[in-house]
Amino acid sequence: MEKPEELGGWPLFTMTASFVAGTTFILLPVGLISAARQYAWLVEMWSVLFGVIAGAFWLYVASRYPGMTLVEIARHALGKYAGGAVALSYIVLFVQLAAWVTRNMSDYMQINLMPRTPLAIFNVAALLVCAYAVIKGIDTIALVSLVILPLLTIAFWTPFTVMLREWDWRNFDYPGGFEWWPTLVQTKYALGFPFMETIAFMMAFPLVRRRRGAAFLGGIAFTGTQLALSLFFTVGILGVYRGSHLTYPIYIIFREMEFSNLIEHLEAIVSVIALLLVFIKLSVLFSFAVTGICQLFAVENRALIAYPLVWVISAYALFFTTIIENAEWVERYLFYYYLPFAFGFPLLFLVASWFRGKAGRSKEAAA
């Protein structure tokens, strides 16, 4: 299998930032506003801090296995069979994440833009495009994120700036007390989505030789802080009640934006542009799944894996019958589901590296 080109620090930063944004701006605001009301942005800032700390932990684990991807680390740390099983589990996780991102994207497109188009059409069309990008290599995906992230950041914040005329500070006086610990427990899924998902970037760490830590952690902090600010703006503009009862509150802000009397329905343009971030996240996960399969089973040709995987991911994306069922599963089980992948297995890898280091030093001392 051909090895992708080496990634620089700035492409890793933009790719990480785009990955964290992904479907987060679409799905997360309504749940956090419902749970934490006007303090939703503070909960998100706590989640960002958690994401940065978790990212630093994964960087340290990766430093114990220089030049190895997550799949290779699993096999090296735990052996051929146990490590192979863990590596396969991570590949399945990447496929699941890609399927969930695909479903979130298709739900958003169907509800807001094309209500008569079947979900399967969105799924297959998006995945075929991503499969082509995956075959070209992760460096190509990183360069795309490098070009579009600044443009998408401007496009995202323009509606908030225009809608400041609707700002009302009384929206932050919503009645009811706020208890930190119960709220954090209720919103623990915000730690998993999207921050625990960034463990997938351990597949790309070997390609980055310089400024890897600053780029990776900076990308998490950059997008996470923007999400917290967008929650603050959403409460100030829409209020707690509207923000917690709309499926896509940020999209409503885009839709109610009046840029001028001659230009209308800019929300469709802004939404389609913002979906490019979703495509980057989907392409990254798709690429990591294909790379993991190729490394685990010694497959040389990416296309032999990528195109059949389109149909697997597309079918899995239809697993949830409704967006409500998907949201309920995320709130109840997502955090616990991510825990073994985010911290359980990496801790095993770290312990294995320490034991190997002690064994190596003991042999040197005996010699």
Instruction: Estimate the share of the chain in helix, then strand, then coil, as percent rounded to the nearest 5.
Output: 85, 0, 15
Within 246-367, strands assigned E span: none
Task: State residue 363's pLDDT score.
Answer: 58
Nearest 5°: the CA angle 203, 14, 226 is 115
Say how far apart CA 259 and CA 250 lie, in whole Å. Answer: 16
Task: State residue 283's pLDDT score.
Answer: 95
Task: State residue 248's pLDDT score.
Answer: 83
The stretches in the chain having pLDDT less than 70 are 1-5, 258-270, 273, 358-367
Task: State residue 1's pLDDT score.
Answer: 43
Region of 137 please: left (phi>0), alpha (psi -120 to 50) or beta: left
Task: State residue 270's pLDDT score.
Answer: 67
CA 139, chain centre distance (Å): 18
Residues of 317-348 as b/e, b for ≥16 C-beta within 10 angstroms?
beebeebeebbeebbeebbebbeebbeebbeb
DSSP string for 194-213: IIGGGGGGGGTGGGB-SSHH
Task: State residue 313's pLDDT score.
Answer: 95
Task: State residue 87's pLDDT score.
Answer: 97
Say how far apart CA 110 and CA 112 lie, in whole Å. Answer: 6
DSSP string for 106-165: HHHHHHHT-TTS-HHHHHHHHHHHHHHHHHH-HHHHHHHHHHHHHHHHHHHHHHHHHGGG
- The answer to whether the predicted template modeling score (pTM) of the entire model surpasses 0.75 is yes
Task: State residue 17's pLDDT score.
Answer: 96
Which phi and psi (to 5°) does residue 6 adopt? -70, 140
Task: State residue 341's pLDDT score.
Answer: 97
| 139 within 8 A of 4, measured Cβ to Cβ | yes
Nearest to 83 by CA among 337, 353, 360: 353
Say how far apart CA 284 and CA 305 lie, in whole Å. Answer: 15
| 294 within 8 A of 314, measured Cβ to Cβ | no
Task: State residue 4's pLDDT score.
Answer: 47
Nearest-10 crossing angle of helices 80-112, 303-316? 60
Which phi and psi (to 5°) does residue 168 adopt? -145, 115
